[in-house]
Amino acid sequence: MAFAPRLIVPVSQHIGAPAVPVVKAGQEVVRGQLIAEADGFFSVPVHAPATGIVEAIDLMHSAAGPKVLSIVIKVYEAASQQVLESYPVDPMQLDRDELIKRVQNSGLAGLGGAAFPSHVKLQVPEEKQAEVLVVNGCECEPYLTCDHRVMLEQPENLLQGVRYALRITGAKRAIIGIEDNKADAARLLREKLTDNDPISVELVETKYPQGAEKMLLKSLLGLEVPVGGLPIDVGVVVNNVGTLAQLGRLLPSGEGLTERVITVSGSGMEKAGNYLVPIGTPVSFILEQVGVEAEYEEVIMGGPMMGMSIASLEVPVTKGTSGVLVFRERRFIEEQGERGTRFPCIKCGRCVDACPMRLNPAQMVWLAEKREYTAMQEKFNLNSCFECGCCSFVCPSNIPLVQYFRIAKSINNENRKATA
């Protein structure tokens, strides 16, 4: 996709400490140039997605709602947009610490949606041992197809990235888990493997939320990550295909992350599809490019189950944006069903059946209504809920279960901070 005239690049596109701007308003930047540096280990630097001039460093809209510090770049139309900064190396010659540093310098953060800093994910704690590297090739949500496209179009980058990741983590083998409706991607990748390759490709059932780390590990390896634990607790490191494909491309050249593949889709959109989009592109520009007319009512960043509907079309694409969905109907639900009025919980148990974490959402909602947020965590493992939205999806009473859980979690967090 073309460059928007103005790119809005937040300094915090990842989970962790925001990056610190190293450019000033009025300064010229070259595509790929570092514009904000990492603030400590748990942070990710930001690179200029295009050649241009820094117009401002100011608070701008974000998908989540609150305004965040962003570097606004006015793109030079005439510029060649060649990525200038690069220090080519052969990653296979470097040691682990050096590689991790380079991953951090590349500005990579999980492209699956959560935007967890990739170098942190790849760093195996001293006392632990990574056995398997799981490569997540399952779309995180329905409607999104960006991971599929990445596998089909950049298989070399992906496999290269997997090999680097194996080296960094010290894992002996890697499994690429792909949903069984994307057998073409699996075939393509398998063809490119060598004999006795430490990498293998496996198909898993297509169902939401298969792309959730813990679900994928269960399907692929039969492993359950302990409550409150991370995959490394069972000897696994998980990374998304999009992330590793970028890793395979960025590491050898020493470039920074400046673009990503996103799915642009929704009802009644003509040029729906996957686009390689510079980071910082405002949603309004994307919609213009794909030719969406003015009649839409809801725009979602991310997927339909977990994404956020955005209040302003000036919200930019960030490293964690996997898609932009446009719905024309006032509410998508109205297209399919009834009004969406809320009824009391009829204890039908559907949410209990639906919850992939085997929680008891019904019980938690009863507690949430009584504001017993601590009991929700202590007795019902609220924090195991990863907000997949399955419970809300099935609830015949239209109870916004996930919303209750989000609120309960943040209140619990506040209280913990207050007492700590």
Window of 27-35, 53-61, 129-137, 353-361 that interacts with ligand SF4 by CB under 6 A: 353-361
Element (H, E) at 120: helix 118-122
340 binds another protein (CB under 8 A): yes
Window of 20-28, 159-167, 247-255, 290-298 that interacts with another protein by CB under 8 A: 290-298
Query: CB 392 → another protein: shortest distance, Å?
Result: 5
C-alpha 12/C-alpha 247 separation (Å) is 20
Distances from the Cα of 398 to the Cαs of 6, 96, 199, 207, 302, in angstroms?
40, 50, 44, 22, 22
DSSP conformation class of 109: B
Task: State the residue for tokens 């202590």.
Answer: 378
Cβ-based nearer residue to ligand SF4, 141 or 259: 141
C-alpha 157/C-alpha 141 separation (Å) is 23
C-alpha 246/C-alpha 259 separation (Å) is 9
Window of 40-48, 73-81, 189-197, 295-303 that interacts with another protein by CB under 8 A: 295-303
Query: CB 356 → another protein: shortest distance, Å?
Result: 7
Query: CB 85 → another protein: shortest distance, Å?
Result: 35
Element (H, E) at 358: none
Binding mask 95-134 for another protein (x = CB under 8 A): ----------------------------------------
357 binds ligand SF4 (CB under 6 A): yes
C-alpha 319/C-alpha 262 separation (Å) is 10
Cβ-based nearer residue to ligand SF4, 183 or 348: 348
- Which member of 194, 336, 418, 420 binds another protein (CB under 8 A)? 336
- Which member of 46, 236, 326, 362 binds ligand SF4 (CB under 6 A)? 362
- The answer for 405, left when phi > 0, alpha when psi is -120 to 50, beta otherwise, is alpha
349 binds ligand SF4 (CB under 6 A): yes
3-state DSSP call for residue 201?
Answer: strand
**Taking CB within 5 to 8 Å according to partner kind, which of ligand SF4, another protein, none is near residue 181?**
none
Amino acid at 319: K
Query: CB 403 → ligand SF4: shortest distance, Å?
Result: 10
Element (H, E) at 72: strand 68-75
C-alpha 24/C-alpha 261 separation (Å) is 29
> CA 158, 46, 67, 6: dihedral to nearest 10 degrees?
-90
Question: Please, where are the H alpha helices in 305-356?
Answer: 332-336, 350-354
212 binds ligand SF4 (CB under 6 A): no
390 binds ligand SF4 (CB under 6 A): yes
Dihedral sign, Cα of residue 260, residue 64, residue 340, residue 343:
positive
Cβ-based nearer residue to ligand SF4, 208 or 275: 208
Query: CB 213 → ligand SF4: shortest distance, Å?
Result: 12
Strand partners, 16: none
- Which member of 210, 360, 367, 408 binds another protein (CB under 8 A)? 360
4 binds ligand SF4 (CB under 6 A): no
346 binds ligand SF4 (CB under 6 A): yes
**Taking CB within 5 to 8 Å according to partner kind, which of another protein, ligand SF4, none is near residue 379?**
another protein
**What is the arrangement of strands in the sheet containing 199-204, beginning at the earlier edge strand?**
199-204, 173-179, 132-137, 236-240
**Measured CA angle at 160 (ends 154, 165), to 5 deg:** 125
Cβ-based nearer residue to ligand SF4, 122 or 395: 395
Cβ-based nearer residue to another protein, 193 or 230: 230
Question: Please, where are the H alpha helices in 278-398?
Answer: 283-289, 332-336, 350-354, 361-369, 373-380, 390-394
Window of 128-136, 151-159, 185-193, 309-317 that interacts with another protein by CB under 8 A: 309-317
**Taking CB within 5 to 8 Å according to partner kind, which of ligand SF4, another protein, none is near residue 365?**
ligand SF4
391 binds ligand SF4 (CB under 6 A): yes
Structure tokens at 146: 């960006």
3-state DSSP call for residue 23?
Answer: coil
363 binds another protein (CB under 8 A): yes
3-state DSSP call for residue 46?
Answer: strand
List interacting residues with ligand SF4 (CB under 6 A).
345-351, 354-357, 359, 361-362, 365, 385-391, 394-397, 399, 401-402, 405
List interacting residues with another protein (CB under 8 A).
142, 214, 218, 224-227, 229, 284, 294-300, 302, 304-311, 313, 325, 327, 330-333, 336-338, 340, 343-349, 352-353, 355-360, 362-363, 379-381, 384, 387, 389, 392-394, 396-398, 400, 402-403, 406
